[in-house]
Structure 1
Amino acid sequence: MMLSTEVAEFRRAAPRPDASAALAEPVMPVRKRFIGLLTLASLGLYTGMFGISNLLLPRQAALISPDSKETAFALISSLGALAAVLANPLIGALSDRTTSRFGRRHGWTIGGATIAAIALILLGHQTTLLGMVVLWCVAMAGMNGMQASLTAEVPDHVPVRQRAVTSAFMGVMPAAGTIVGVVLAAYVFTGLSEGYVALAAMVLLLALPFVLTTRDAVLSRAALAPFRWRDFLAGFWISPRQHPDFAWAWITRFMMQLGSAMFTLYLLFFLRDVVHYEQVFPGKRSEEGVFILTLIYTGCSLLTATTVGYLSDRRGRRKIFVIVSGLVQGAAMLLLAVWHTWLGVQCVTAILALGYGAYIAVDQAMITQVLPAAGNRGKDLGVINFAIAGPYALAPVLAAPLVIQFGGYPTLCAVAGTILVLGSIFVRNIKTVP
């Protein structure tokens, strides 16, 4: 198999045939078992990440700072997302240079899961804002290290013609993880600390089958260029001039994630303070409303994700699906700005999910096709993942003033919808992917 120019440069110090397995573009189809176990590990990751951030974290913030819960939650979320922004590309870059006989990625997956699980268990016992901030930052660093290694498994092992389908299953896992998290934390383990323990266990235990039963290509030491800190740190800057498609893919993902995060982080508060869920349904909790909406979201997004993923792989087209999905999501958010009934929220959630499912089915597949170099897949995907963690750091900073000072949730929805539409339009600037 012919290696790309970038791979050849990566191996220029001492090229050897056994290095090619870890760096070459995959062409052999992966089995359903591989996709299934990778999806299961992703489910554990996102159960911890989104199950906690959407339910346990705002509940705990409200207990510690009842009179300023929005501000406290914004602080915790923003600093945790900042930790994620730093950890994701760093762990990705380190995994790119890992020469363990077990492969480049698996050690980082299980290490990140273990660190996150410990931090989450301790987080459940915190009674101060400072304690919450510190441990949530540690947990987010661990989970994003895990995310960096799992994400890199796709371009490492999955050929282009299977990537949209694989990305579709992995992309639905954030919503599925929220469902699992809500079920465990709101219905099975109802105590705050018990909920954290249950979700921490999911992060670790669901990663084990993938790590223990799949093989990861081993990178030869001879394939590594000499390590220099200056080169290592400089590698985190990817020139938009030299790699414009990579830059536009980054911008598109950032805006799409920002528009979504600006609302989803405040969904629990929206149901309590705008829909008045607990007054509409006496005896019910707003957390139950979040659970119902998440079920709707997951079911509808799975429907379009699998369908669009199949169509995208079959036709080899990506951009048109991203554009349509962004327009659908943006329209749904604008509709939510004026329709605040429980029925309205359910309908809007279904529309959002249909658009989001189409988006996640092709977005990750498209991104893996614009990576600058095979030897830096983990690091480059970590840089791309800035566009996931970054919005979760920025969203509370933007959303809190909109909710508190500038018109409330209608303004928030309108701004989020506008960002989603703009993000989808920018994907047209990517030239090398149809």
Structure 2
Amino acid sequence: MSERRPVGPAFLISYAIAYIGAFLGVAPLLQILAPVHAAAIDPAAKAAIFSQAIFYGCVAAGFGNILGGAISDRTRSRHGRRRPWIIVGAVLTVASYAVLLWSRTPFMMVVGLVCFQLAFNVLLAPLIALFADRVPDNRRGVMSGVLGMAYPLAVTMGSVIMAWGPQSETARFATLGGIVLLATIPFALLSREDAPPPGEVRALSSGLSPRSLFKPFANRDFSLAWAVRFLIATGYSLVAFYLLYYIADAIGYADLYPGQTAEAGHSLVMTVSLIGVLGVSFLVALAGSRIRRRKLLGIGGGVLLSGAALLLGVTPDWMLVVVAFVFYGMGQGAFGSIEMALMTDVLPSAEDRGKDLGLINLAVTLPQATAPLAALVLLEGFGFGFRSLFFAAVACFACATLALAAIRRVR
């Protein structure tokens, strides 16, 4: 295996910007633009349209993530393996926004989200693989802490942009497209990546049989880490996807604060959540390699997430919702700050990093497909309305915490 080129602060900072920028392209889309677009197509069937589009889109995301990682593993280029596909994925992601923007029927909205998820994951898979390729062990704690802020920061920034930025749908999509291109393309063009030795590059079809593809699951710790990420992501999805509807319908935010929209309430709770995320993530990044027990930090995050989701499920009071999201953010920060390092630590082989990280990322995309289906059952069958989603999230976070405690390779 080739020796890693030393990385300096410039690479680490630009990588973090690209990573956060990429997630800014997806978080507000799934949490704000897609629900609003579904409501514009048919207000009476908005939840069903949105759930169907999310389901098929996320099935495509799982396929795109594994394929994007596998192709980058097998790419031979003087520009490296990962960087060309980051550029291709970014351009295709922006093009997919146009497909979604112009959709006027439920079927075309499904097509738009499928195109988006395929394109976005062609960008995301090689971008994440670069973490394993380039970041040395002694800097993974710091970088994992920084990257743990990425998704919550993207959610909050995206929510604020959607609430207080351009209000036309076209301008909102154009804003997201500009952010994705400005964050990722300069990084891919200007960063350096060694071309892998010939022995590390294989034919595209090699190692992609069903048996080889899922071989990492024979490793106990890999399977447990996958389960942890799947359960955490399912809980996140149950909370996030229908939060706008929860604020509007279950809390009645516009009635509590006349003249304010549900989007404004959404941006408020996302902002206070971000305060918790940044506080914990900053402390973890500052401590860096001095943190010897990553697993305990993740377990603490799981406990905080469980408690916050339980409070959201039982309280009718808006101020307690805000308090719950402070603790929710702290839980996200604690778990997210060790997530990337945890997933990298359990990879069974170096030559299939991209593909195996694609499998791990499948644990994030699958819940985005299954959570809407579970939500439809919970919303119609248990009589608690949107609050039932938070009770299900409690179960997911608690089970994830137990699975994390069982991983042996990570202290």
TM range (shorter): over 0.9
Separation of aligned partners in 2, 1:389 and 1:52:
15
* Residue of structure 2 equivalent to 1:290: 266
2:173 maps to what in 1? 196
Letter in 1 for 2:270: T
CA distance in 2, matches of 1:77, 1:230: 30
Structure 1 238/73 Cα, relative in aligned 2: closer, same or farther at 3 Å?
Answer: same
Higher mean alpha-carbon deviation, 181-190 vs 292-301, is at 181-190
- Structure 2 CA distance for aligned equivalents of residues 267 and 100 of structure 1: 44
Distance 1:111-1:73 versus aligned 2 partners, 3 A rule: same
Partner of 1:273: 249
Q: Contact conserved, 1:303 with 1:354, CA < 8 A, in 2?
A: yes
Alignment partner of 1:341 is 2:297: no
Which portions of structure 1, spanning 4 or more consecutive aligned residues, are displaced by more than 4 angstroms?
225-233
Deviation at 1:316, TM superposition (A): 2.9
| 1:376 alignment partner, one of 348, 352, 375 | 352
Match of 1:134 in 2: 111
Asked if the contact 2:89–2:119 (Cα under 8 Å) also holds between the matched residues in 1, the reply is: yes
Alignment partners' CA distance in 1, 2:300 and 2:279: 16
Higher mean C-alpha deviation, range 381-390 or range 198-207: 198-207
Hey, what does 1:17 align to over in structure 2?
none
Q: Does 1:57 align with 2:40?
A: no
2:229 is aligned to: 253
Return 396-405 or 84-93, whichever deviates more: 396-405
Please give the residue correspondences for 1:111-126 in structure 2 after superposition, counting only pairs within 5 Å. Answer: 111-126=88-103
The aligned counterpart of 1:236 is: 213
2:32 aligned with 1:47, yes or no?
Answer: no
Asked if structure 2 preserves the Cα contact closer than 8 Å seen for 1:312 and 1:362, the reply is no
Following superposition, the deviation at residue 32 of structure 1 comes to 2.2
For residues 231 and 412 of structure 1, what CA distance do their matches in structure 2 show? 37
Over the aligned positions, Cα root-mean-square deviation in angstroms equals 1.7
Instruction: Quote the Cα distance in structure 2 between the aligned partners of 1:387 and 1:282.
Output: 40
Residue 272 of structure 1 contacts residue 278 of structure 1 at CA under 8 Å; is this kept in 2?
yes
3-state DSSP of counterpart to 2:213: coil
Greater shift in the superposed pair: 203-212 or 229-238: 229-238
* Residues 1:227 and 1:56: Cα distance change in structure 2 (over 3 Å): closer
Matched with 1:398 is 374
Q: Does 1:326 align with 2:302?
A: yes
Q: In the alignment, is the contact (CA less than 8 A) between 1:165 and 1:306 conserved in 2?
A: no
1:309/1:358 contact within 8 Å kept: no
Question: Which of residues 193, 214, 230 in structure 1 aligns to 2:191?
Answer: 214
Please give the alpha-carbon distance, in whole angstroms, between the structure 2 residues aligned to 1:168 and 1:235. 32
TM-score (norm 2): 0.95
- How far the C-alpha of 1:94 sits from its partner, in A, is 0.7
CA distance in 2, matches of 1:379, 1:228: 12
**What whole-Å deviation, never above 9, does each CA across 1:57-111 have from its counterpart, x for those lacking one?**
1001011121111111111111111111110011101101111100110111111
> CA 1:209–1:224 in structure 2 vs 1: closer, same or farther (change >3 Å)?
closer
Shift of 1:201: 1.8
Q: Which residue of 1 aligns with 2:238?
A: 262
- Distance, in Å, in 2 between the alignment partners of 1:48 and 1:295 is 18
Question: Which moved further from structure 2: 120-129 or 149-158?
Answer: 120-129
2:59 counterpart of 1:91: no
Query: Which residue of the partner structure matches residue 421 of structure 1?
Result: 398
Distance in 1 between the 2:242 and 2:231 partners? Answer: 18
Structure 2 counterpart of 1:151, from 97, 122, 128 = 128
Single out whichever of 176-185 and 378-387 deviates more from structure 2: 176-185
TM-superposed deviation, 1:53 = 0.7
Residue 430 of structure 1: which of 389, 407, 410 is its match? 407
* 2:161 aligns with one of 184, 195, 206: 184
What is the percent sequence identity of the aligned residues?
Answer: 30
Distance (whole Å) between structure 1 residues aligned to residue 12 and residue 259 of structure 2:
42
Give the residue type in structure 2 aligned to 1:294. Answer: M
Query: Take 1:412 and 1:335, find their aligned partners in 2: how far apart are those partners?
Result: 12
Give structure 2 stretches of 5+ with no counterpart. none
Q: Which SS does the other structure have where 2:60 is aligned?
A: helix
Letter in 2 for 1:50: A
Deviations for 1:149-192, whole angstroms, at most 9, x for unmatched residues? Answer: 11111111111221122122222222222233233333222111
Partner Cα distance (2:340, 2:178) in 1: 27
Query: Could you give the per-residue CA deviations for residues 259-309 of structure 1, whole angstroms, max 9, x where no partner exists?
Result: 111111100000000110011110111011111111111221011012134
C-alpha separation between the residues in 1 aligned to 2:117 and 2:332?
23
CA distance in structure 2 between the partners assigned to 1:423 and 1:312 by the alignment: 24
Which digits, 9 at most, give the CA deviation of each residue in 1:236-277, with x for residues without a partner?
A: 212433x11111100011111111111111000000001100
Gap regions ≥5 residues in structure 1:
1-6, 8-19
- 1:98 partner SS: coil
Once residues 358 and 27 of structure 1 are traced to their aligned partners in structure 2, the CA distance between those partners, rounded to angstroms, is 30
Indicate the larger mover: 232-241 or 88-97: 232-241
CA offsets 1:6-44 (integer angstroms, 9 cap, x no match):
x6xxxxxxxxxxxx13xxxx584x322212111111222
- Residues 22 and 124 of structure 2 are in contact (CA less than 8 Å); yes or no, is this contact kept in structure 1? yes
TM-score of the pair, normalised by structure 1? 0.90
Distance 1:127 1:411, change over 3 A: same
**Corresponding residue SS for 1:101:** coil
Equivalent positions of 1:15-94 (< 5 A) are 20-21=2-3, 26=4, 28=6, 30-94=7-71
Hey, what's the Cα distance between the residues in 2 that align with 1:225 and 1:155? 19
Deviation of residue 374 (structure 1)? 0.7
Alignment partner, residue 276 of structure 2:
300
